[in-house]
Amino acid sequence: MPHSRSRVTAASDLLTVGAFALAICLPLLGFWFDWQPQNMIIDNRLPAPRPQLAANLEALRSLPTRFEAYFDDRFGFRRPLIRWNNLATVVWLGGSPEARSRSSGQGDGGLRFDPLSHRIVHGQGSWFYHFGDGTMRDHRGLDPFSPAELLHWQQVLEQRRDWLAARGIEYLFLAVPDKQSIYPEYLPARIRRVREQTRMGQLVAHLRAHSSVEALDLRSALLPAKAEELVFEQTGTHWNAYGAYQAYAAILERLAARFPALLPQPLSDFEIRKTIGPALPFLWLTGVVDQYQEQVVELLPRAPRTAVTIEQSRPPQGPSNYGYGSRLVRETARPELPSAVVFHDSFVPTGLEPLLSEHFRRVVYLWQNEFDLYAIAQERPDLVIEEKVERYFSTSRPTNPAALHGAGAGRPRQASRR
């Protein structure tokens, strides 16, 4: 009997060792034979490139790190393993998913799992938030602007405004809030704020007190509107159609003093349609997109739109680019309307562009951070709109082309038109 038991124990140990060896070998075998299901998770970036051998000491020193990044992006069964981990973390335990959504093509040596620096944070229910690039610290009030940084922003924007004014062009700076500034109540309880004001709030308050730059903080439109209707996506990062309409109405109301023809269409010109749809592509990064649904709010115009596309171009781009660098030109057959150039990020194409385009004889949308003097000189518009989302202020320090330096020197302060 003891001998029989020892044989059972030995067989059990052998099976355990064999299962363990198979488990640790499967990712390597999957890497070698490229066993990778393609439809389970999508990375919002290019994978790390295959490391190249070079006959120099620096390349040899960095080879292990470069190979590790390359392997991390390709080991066998990577996508199902990430999905299973996120299903357990998000759906079963109510935590936040691991996701890599960097725009660079370089690997970072592994998946991040820092509860307070996630790029994707799971809030209550179906609410998910983007918290990359320092936005978590900014939302919590841990990295406020210094007085010198606020003055730098003021000088940059004043130089842009003054350069445009010298050419008879109006200027409007748009500050777009992140979702967590409009819906902080659905964030996880562990995310506590030490200051209520973010960098964007600081800058807007500073400009109101010390500058005549026309800056529109769209929190003033979105916060009251959320009592009427959902204004942001729950499983995405942008405003929905109703939120975009509120932003559009606020923009035209601000511009009406200088351009009386710019009157927003009333909400009655649209049919509001609400449906339940699949979770938005933002969750493709996590592999749990099939576990959640989105409350879709659409605004359907009752009359045909009049603006037509004259030009649309996009540069060669990888999967992480989201259209950065694209150019869109729209025109209406209404010569009495002003023309405009709009520098923007992803919030303008998400519902705002089709609304704004109806109010300009010609409008050029440029998806870029740079203040492009050449594009402005080519178009000679009546108005330049520059839009920045709140997370931009967490990481970016604006600069002006050399032609603008000193453009605002000596210009007297004007009365605020807020």
Residue 395: its pLDDT value, please? 84
Q: How far apart are CA 290 and CA 40, in angstroms?
A: 10
| Same-domain status, 82 and 142 | no
Total number of domains constituting the chain: 2
Residue 187: its pLDDT value, please? 92
Q: How far apart are CA 215 and CA 199, in angstroms?
A: 14
Q: How far apart are CA 253 and CA 244, in angstroms?
A: 14
| Same-domain status, 325 and 232 | yes
Beta-strand pair 362-367/339-344: parallel
Q: How far apart are CA 338 and CA 332, in angstroms?
A: 11
| Same-domain status, 253 and 378 | yes
Q: How far apart are CA 337 and CA 333, in angstroms?
A: 9
Domain that holds residue 286: 137-404
- Whether 223 is in a domain gets the answer yes
| Same-domain status, 159 and 240 | yes
Residues 137-180: tens digit of each pLDDT: 999 999 999 999 999 999 999 999 999 999 999 999 999 999 99
| Same-domain status, 76 and 195 | no
Residues 27-77: tens digit of each pLDDT: 656 555 565 555 555 555 556 666 676 667 776 676 677 766 666 555 555
Q: In Å, how far are 17, 103, 186, 229 from 319, measured between CA atoms?
A: 41, 8, 30, 33
| Same-domain status, 90 and 217 | no
Q: How far apart are CA 122 and CA 141, in angstroms?
A: 20
Contact status, residue 371 vs residue 156, Cβ threshold 8 Å: no
Residues 282-332: tens digit of each pLDDT: 655 556 655 677 899 999 999 999 999 999 987 655 444 457 789 999 999
Half-sphere exposure of residue 326: CA atoms within 13 angstroms, side-chain side: 16
| Same-domain status, 97 and 161 | no
DSSP H or E stretch at residue 356: helix 353-356
| Same-domain status, 100 and 155 | no
Contact status, residue 58 vs residue 64, Cβ threshold 8 Å: no
Q: Which residue, 101, 108, 106, 163, is CA-closest to 135? A: 101
| Same-domain status, 73 and 178 | no
- Whether 20 is in a domain gets the answer no
| Same-domain status, 100 and 175 | no
Residue indicated by tokens 């592999």: 287
Last residue of a domain, one of 113, 129, 146: 113
In sign, the C-alpha dihedral spanning 306, 280, 347, 105 is negative
| Same-domain status, 93 and 160 | no
